[in-house]
Amino acid sequence: MNIFEIDGPCKLSGTVEISGAKNAALPIMAAAVLGNGKTLLESVPDIADIRTMFELLDSIGVKCKRLENGKVEVDASSIDNPVGDYDIVRKMRASFCIIGPLLARCGQARVSLPGGCSSFGHRPVDIHLKGLRALGAEISIENGYVTARVPEGGLVGTEIFLGGTNGPTVLGTANVLMAASMAKGTTVLEYAACEPEIQDMAIFMKKMGAKISGIGTQTLTVEGVDELKPVEHRIIPDRIEAGTFMVGAVMTQSQITISNCCPEHLRAPIDCLRQMGTRICVDKDSMEVSHTGKIRPAHLTTQPYPGFPTDLQAQFMAMLCLASGNSFITEKIFPERFSHVAELNRLSAEINKVGSSVVISGRETLLGAPVMASDLRASAALVLAGLAAEGKTIVNRVYHIDRGYEDIVSKLQALGAAIERKHIDD
């Protein structure tokens, strides 16, 4: 088993380059299945989730090859097995995104119900299925698999409301958009997700020949086309990775430069950090972040984009443990996404959970301890807390962080952090 050993408190300095966005690369790789031929993607992060997507695409007959410098070739010239196997799909929720493109391209799909970070509660796919059914797909669920079939007349465009109790669905929007891109006639997706990753996927699909309008808004209109062609595309920078490093700079009272990022995708986190006293100089594709002195407390509520992202909630919570007063966080997207609370408290934080909110009583210092990573962003929060804490922090189960952060240890080491990956026997 791999662990991270951190000797805190650390000071960071220098420049960190942000990788391509996991949550854009994954649905875009699925969308590449729509094009008969070789798609070339640039800036695809080398992380476990992308390797899982390679495995999934390989299993359906699509050949993926990692080339030099973050480039990936996806050859969807033939698809011989439109099945998303349980053993692959259970590892990663984004694998379920294969059902939309398989339906569009092959007229049928059989895909296991997904897994993903389940430590933050039940994650249904009912809206994905509602959207596909609205297009006319015949869907049944048996033995843990969703079987979907295109009816005789093909998929037919229609108006679909994609909202759920906790707002729009990101991957649901991706799935239905992909299926609708080759349906007959016009589909209007209302209350669609407008996260930058969905925008990037829609832009990629437009390059392929899809007729999509309303990108970046909550209403996407799609005119179905008969075929889509393979293209070249560069994945947007990972806003969550960038946000994680911003928090790292604040927690360690440091100054760092974050390059290859897209500050306009981070308006809510930047606004929040500025209110907490952080200096952020924003350029077109880089940011200089510095913090000295007190961290002002904050009140945060996670929301769909452009609101504050749930994928930065855990990292901001770690930071607010060091604020000069009480802070509040309410989680509106995944009301149970709090597995990091108990582990942060092991580092001497004072966090109390009340329903889907927490109250954080800020302290001057955190103290190192052994902790257990429970999901991807919870792990990132524990690493950040470990960098700021006094003494040694051991983060166990780092396979969670390896799902989504490329070279996290070497990037932090290059900034001067005393962090090491170690292999220990289970």
Ligand X SMILES: CC(=O)N[C@H]1[C@@H](OP(=O)(O)OP(=O)(O)OC[C@H]2O[C@@H](n3ccc(=O)[nH]c3=O)[C@H](O)[C@@H]2O)O[C@H](CO)[C@@H](O)[C@@H]1O
Ligand Y SMILES: C=C(OP(=O)(O)O)C(=O)O
Could you list the residues that contact ligand X (CB under 6 A)?
23, 26, 93-94, 123-128, 164, 166-167, 169-172, 193, 310-311, 333-334
From the list ligand X, ligand Y, none, partner contacted by residue 126 (C-beta under 5 to 8 A by kind)? ligand X
**Interface with ligand Y in residues 375-404 (CB under 6 A):** 376-377, 404
Return the number of the residue (92 or 132) whose C-beta is nearest ligand Y: 92
User: Cα–Cα distance between 137 and 75 in angstroms, integer?
Assistant: 26
What whole-number distance in Å separates Cα of residue 16 and Cα of residue 408? 10
Residue 404 contact partner, candidates ligand Y, ligand X, none, CB within 5 to 8 A by sort of partner: ligand Y
Output the smallest distance, CB 116 to ligand Y, in A: 3
* Residue 170 contact among ligand X, ligand Y, none, beta carbon within 5 to 8 Å by kind: ligand X
Q: Is 117 a catalytic residue?
A: yes
Tell me 172's DSSP state.
H
Q: 333 a known binding residue? A: yes
Using only C-alpha atoms, the chain has a radius of gyration, in whole angstroms, of: 21
The region of 78-86, 92-100, 138-146, 356-364 touching ligand Y under the rule CB under 6 A is: 92-100
Whether 222 contacts 182, CB under 8 Å: no
Return the DSSP state at 132. Answer: H
In the complex with ligand Y, the residue whose CB is nearer, 95 or 254, is 95
**168 lies in the site for ligand Y, by CB under 6 A:** no
Residue with smaller CB distance to ligand Y, 84 or 136: 84
Burial of 163 by CB count in 10 Å (0-12 exposed, 13-18 middle, 19+ buried)?
middle
Contact call for residues 320 and 329 (beta carbons, < 8 A): yes
Cα separations (Å) of 158 from 116, 234, 294, 310?
30, 31, 53, 31
Query: Strand 72-75 to strand 83-84: parallel, antiparallel, or no bridges (unpaired)?
Result: unpaired
400: partner contacted, choices ligand X, ligand Y, none (Cβ within 5-8 A by kind): none
Q: Tell whether 203 is in a known binding site.
A: no
Distance of CA 36 to the CA centre of its chain: 27
Q: Closer CB to ligand Y, residue 98 or residue 208?
A: 98
Q: Which of 97, 117, 194, 321 is catalytic?
A: 117
Q: Is 360 annotated as a binding residue?
A: no
Active site residues: 117
